[in-house]
Amino acid sequence: MLLWIRGALTPQKIQDRIMDPKSDFQKKMVEYLESVHMGEFITGSLEDVKKNVDIAELDDEYKNPTETLPIPPPLQCNQNECGKCKSCKAISLWETQFNSTVDDILFRLNLHKCMGGTKQYEKKKLKHGNTNIVNKYQPVTGCLSNKWGKCKARFPHKTFENTEVDMNNGALNIKKGESMLNTVTAEVTYLIRSNTDGTSLLSGTAIKAVVAYVSDYISKPALKTYLIFEAIKSVYDRNSEMLGGSLDQKEKGRILLTQIVNNLTSKMEIGGPMASMYLLKNPDHYKNHKFCPFYWPSFVQAARYVWNPDIAEHGEDQLVLLKIRGKIVGHTLMQDYVFRSVECHQVSLYDWIQLSHIENVLRTLHKICSMII
């Protein structure tokens, strides 16, 4: 999910104010960023959290937080957090539970563990050349399974004991205590109870990249041609021994087609919003606002035609033919505004498009035609 902060400064203005030595903006920005996302556990180091989780699992009443719903916070104190009433004590207990639950979820789901290696990468390379090796070795792929043996997720990350500000370019390195954790927002982790990654976008490039990524991930466009051929080739490579075997040709074709379809289906994973939409039986098109379609070029051409009648684009709109009492009547959306009533002469085009309804226009047109006939 992408959260836009109303009234927020642009990345350039934030950079300028951070680099201003006379302003306390830098301090406030650092405090805000440290409050909304973190790169470490809440209750202690990795060893402390592991120890706490191991002890908690010994209790018969312990439940895995990834399999339970979040507990809502209790009501706030009416005496401005006196610290003595039942509400304050309940809030204190809930905050303790919140911190331990978040660390438990982070330990289970967010802690990166590098897997694989260059040996697995070599085995994977050899599988195309010798089918006997394929049967003998099943390569274990992971983030280290590449010819460099370096983590593809770029772990371990650099840690910072305190938030640092580069006064040369205004870049911020947020406080981070665990090298094998991404930055997260504790409240989001507690509510969603799954692997999450929280990032503050402080540059225009990062914002554009994330918007493009989120849009592409939600819409899940069709597979590109090279991905389709790659999926088909991988199926043939895995079945080279079967293709050279003694099976019937029809059976070979059936197996190949089944595996190709399954492989393509797995690559065409749909996004969470689309899956939820179909499971909840919602329509294909959903939104929380109603937008009026507006064909701007027709009005621009009509306005230009008044000053220059000789232009090729003479401002004609798409004509809708209506049959009223046996008569054919032409109707266009542009005419609705051009020949609007006297009471609406002061209404701008924007307001007209926003407030008028085509049903009412057609009904009025029907009455006028009836009077003329």
Encode pLDDT of 138-149 as tens digits. 445 788 888 888
Residues whose CB is less than 8 angstroms from the CB of residue 247 and which lie 6 or more positions away in sequence, other chains included: 255
184 strand-pairing partners: 38
Q: Which of 135-144, 176-185, 334-343 has the highest mean pLDDT?
A: 176-185
- Please provide the average confidence, as pLDDT, over all residues in the chain: 80
The pLDDT assigned to 131 comes to: 47
Query: Where do the structural domains in the chain lie, given as residue ranges?
Result: 11-112+155-202, 296-372
DSSP code for 329: E
Percent of the chain with pLDDT over 90: 23
How many Å apart are CA 126 and CA 128, to the nearest integer? Answer: 6
The whole-angstrom separation of Cα 344 and Cα 107 is 65
Confidence of residue 369 (pLDDT cuts 50, 70, 90): low
Rounded Cα distance, 255 and 233, in Å: 14
The residue-averaged pLDDT of 119-130 equals 60
The separation between CA 297 and the C-alpha centre of its own chain, rounded to angstroms, equals 33
The 8-class DSSP code of residue 3 comes to P
Residue range 185-226, pLDDT digits in tens: 999 999 999 999 888 877 777 778 887 877 777 666 677 788
Helix (H) or strand (E) holding 330: strand 327-331
* pLDDT at 3 (0 to 100): 76
- The per-residue pLDDT for 99 is 95
Task: Return the bridge partners of 323, or none.
Answer: 328
**Cα–Cα distance measured from residue 317 to residue 297, given in angstroms and rounded to the nearest whole number:** 9
Report the 10 Å Cβ neighbour count for 139.
18
